[in-house]
Amino acid sequence: MSLFEKIVKKEEKIAVVGLGYVGMPIAVAFAKKVSVIGFDLNKNKIDLYKSGVDPTNEVGDQEIKKTTVEFTSNETRLQEAKFHIVAVPTPINSDKTPDLSPVEGASRIVGRNLIKGSIVVFESTVYPGVTEDICVPILEEESGLKCGIDFKIGYSPERINPGDKIHRLENIIKIVSGMDEKSLEEISKVYELVIEVGVHRAGSIKVAEAAKVVENSQRDINIAFMNELAMVFDRMDIDTNEVVEAMNTKWNALKFTPGLVGGHCIGVDPYYFVYEAEKLGYHSQIVLSGRKINDSMGKFVGDAIIKKLILANKVVRHSKIVILGLTFKENTPDTRNSKVVDIINSLRDYGIEPIVVDPEANADEAKREYGVDLVEINEVNEADCLVLAVAHDIFKQLSWEEIDNLYGNFDNKEKILIDVKSIFNRSDIEEQGYEYWRL
């Protein structure tokens, strides 16, 4: 009987290592079909899950309350499973090089608890070669087992889009790969239990690893192109959104828009590609240039704010600036690699400490990671400038009266509105008489 068949009959378990924005939804999805152990080093996170709280908002508290996932921070529980999915983050260091410590640490934990006949599948984003050249030796060293003989490995890059309730785990095609035909077949069958639209069987583990970093690098480059246009059009006094709207009337327009590019994927993955390319003697030109452009957008927005303050005859250092949104994207509590922080730091360079409002973000995390004290929107008043940085639904639903109440008691022409996400209609803003700028 194959491992897949034993899993289906609940004679063997699946273990998910790392229960964040990626691992937790995977664990919950599999638990609807088979027996699942959910492991994370963070005991506080495990306690939240056990109490029925979903801090990621990816599946919701109700789903967490009724799931059969066996949440644990005890690594020895992994010995009960034979199919391991590693879904830990792979960030970058301050010098933009890959930080593989989370995936190396997870490999050590799995290795210490690995038993014969197991399959280990990595989902963490890495550059080609990491799974076989870095993770396998750690698994072998910690377990005393031999890869290919005592256990098998595979790679299946995560494609979950945090905060997206349309493109979900179940309806996004899953790339899967294995070290050989047998492991590929087993891994594919296991994932097909929860992936309704099916899987794509990659030719090798390295192909699957490359596909992940490339798909995000492609998006990064396209957004960088739009951001460069936005910076040029700003000098030309041309509305970028009007240009994009006109351009998109053509059937083959790609429909990308300018914006802040942060988060744990698009803002990070290209550096993994660049790192490995440079190790092989190739200096990336397009990918790295795109990253530099996108990494500069926070400062560009910050400078635009200062310019508008000056034009409105404001005393820059005494101006009250309120930023709406801190997370890296709308309708998610995820603040990892948020580029809104770059706007905040740019303003700090001018001696301004902006007020930041974000009901979606975790206040403790904002303070710990960025030194930002979040405030409630009902505490905001007397603002000189509002910066809509993240298009949370709660911000988009604000009425004009609610927006106007956030400002000080002065003429509308002195009220500055910076629309980073371009959610407002320009004619509506002009009708209100605000000083308006959008990316």
* Positions marked active-site: 265
- What is the C-alpha R_g of the chain? 24
**CB 128: neighbour CB atoms within 10 A?**
22
**Any bridge partners for residue 322, and if so which?**
355, 386
Query: Which residue has tokens 């993770």?
Result: 135
DSSP type of residue 131: I
**CB 249: neighbour CB atoms within 10 A?**
7
For residue 306, give both structure tokens: 């200062």
Contact 208, 202 (CB under 8 A): yes
Measured distance CA(175)–CA(153) in Å, rounded: 14
Contact 60, 24 (CB under 8 A): no
∠ CA 262-266-268, rounded to 5°: 80
**Any bridge partners for residue 388, and if so which?**
324, 419
Measured distance CA(390)–CA(419) in Å, rounded: 9
DSSP string, 389-421: -S--HHHHT--HHHHHTTB-SS-GGG-EEEETT
Query: Which residue has tokens 């405030």?
Result: 375
Query: Which residues are CB-neighbours of 64 under 8 A, at least 6 positions away?
Result: 28, 49, 52, 53, 54
Query: Which residue has tokens 């409002």?
Result: 357
For residue 43, give both structure tokens: 């005991």
Beta strands in 280-415 (DSSP E): 321-324, 355-357, 374-375, 385-388
